[in-house]
Amino acid sequence: MPRGDGRLNHDLLPGEKGPQDACGVFGVWAPGEEVAKLTYFGLYALQHRGQESAGIAVSNGSQILVFKDMGLVSQVFDETSLGSLQGHIAVGHARYSTTGASVWENAQPTFRATAHGSIALGHNGNLVNTAQLAEMVADLPRENGRATQVAATNDTDLVTALLAGQTDDDGKPLTIEEAATKILPDVMGAFSLVFMDEQTLYAARDPQGIRPLVLGRLERGWVVASESAALDICGATFVREVEPGELIAIDENGLRSSRFAEAKPKGCVFEYVYLARPDTDIAGRNVYLSRVEMGRKLAKEAPADADLVIATPESGTPAAVGYAEASGIPFGVGLVKNAYVGRTFIQPSQTIRQLGIRLKLNPLKDVIQGKRLVVVDDSIVRGNTQRALVKMLREAGAAEVHIRISSPPVKWPCFFGIDFATRAELIANGMSIEEIGKSLGADSLSYISIDGMIEATTIAKPNLCRACFDGEYPMDLPDPELLGKQLLETELASGHAAADALRRP
């Protein structure tokens, strides 16, 4: 079967790139169940969180087998590959790269031998002290005179190496659970981890709880997943969220919980705006209901004299429903989305590329002709998509185009698992809202306020990370040169001391 190369086709317009999702993680402990297939369908439900690579690791109690490749979950796995993954514990991962290039070596779950067996690990989020972790790996005790090395250039493999290589003060190797208790307090940034050794499934969430992670119950086992929607697809019942700063272990003796850090909740508000599935609940709040309420508040904050409210499908639809409801303007379907455009490994020809957004969306001319439109979308990053959309709607006969955005202007980069454009590329950085509207060719442009967006989530403002909107990060950040997606590739090329841990065997 032909394999993908990790290319995304979000780039339908030259230079355009929307906010790219975090990753999706899934773990299951269930003797007697087909855990590989449960994990496959769990990852299928989380595919929206990462489309570059996918992988599953399974333990049968004595050894761990890992299968991973570039591409979508449905491209990486088939009946044969899933049939080879026999056991009662599994962890799975769907990746979008936030640290490290989109190459096979960086696909997850990561794997490493330990003194007690082996470990496989999947990570959703992004760390901010990656350079420090690389130095910690370089300082691990040498085996047979050789320093510990990692074959990947991502923060996840560094954490895996640290968990696998810990010893006590007498040089005795620690178990995975002991190592996690020791190491996780030193890991800074966003991390929702699922990992396992041959007998035990583990889950851990950073003290801020930036990325979601939930616990579910099967009739004969347990499930952990990035989103509650992934529990639904495999028949698991939602139990609770994994708490910020909590480490969970599940084995034949049941579930046990410990805490490696005090909880300081700062959940990502962009999960409610765009990242998470609408049928997911986060911190007790349904994502779809939050988005509808954002639309209602947007209508009150930024009314428009118009004939029809339409959405940029699919992510703008709930907010458009709320806007129409609160404004009294009818909601209609003015744009049809190609249901299969989300991913392709075929590069379009120049002729097709010139069609740009029409590969993704097509207007219903009879619906929008002569109408004054309110077009609701979830966010604007560079603005190229919205600019092309306004032009297309006008060509289809729209009398007026009023753009309404259900999140505030994105002005700051995210270092916790969302790959936005660089700050210099963000259209809201350096331009007023009126100037942005003129640049897009819209008759008017308005965004929801930060307070309106937060109120729609029903989560207290101090408990949400909103740094991409207001620049208030939930933790201290290192110097800019120690941040960035290609940090470890740069370290390797530089010959820095920490690069010793990154030399490929």
Token readout for 189 is 């940034």
Q: Give the 3-state secondary structure of residue 75.
A: helix
Q: Which residue has the tokens 């590969």?
A: 359
Token readout for 473 is 């990060």
Residues 109, 26: Cα–Cα separation, whole Å: 10
Residues 264, 285: Cα–Cα separation, whole Å: 19
Whether 210 contacts 217, CB under 8 Å? no
Residues 289, 297: Cα–Cα separation, whole Å: 12
237: β partners: 217
Known active-site residue 23: yes
Number of H helices and E strands in the chain, helices first, is 17, 23
Residues 489, 505: Cα–Cα separation, whole Å: 16
Token readout for 26 is 């899934």
Residues 185, 187: Cα–Cα separation, whole Å: 6
For the chain, the helix, strand and coil percentages under 3-state DSSP, each to the nearest 5: 30, 25, 45
Residues 40, 42: Cα–Cα separation, whole Å: 5
Name the catalytic one among 23, 234, 268, 468.
23
Point out the residues that are catalytic.
23
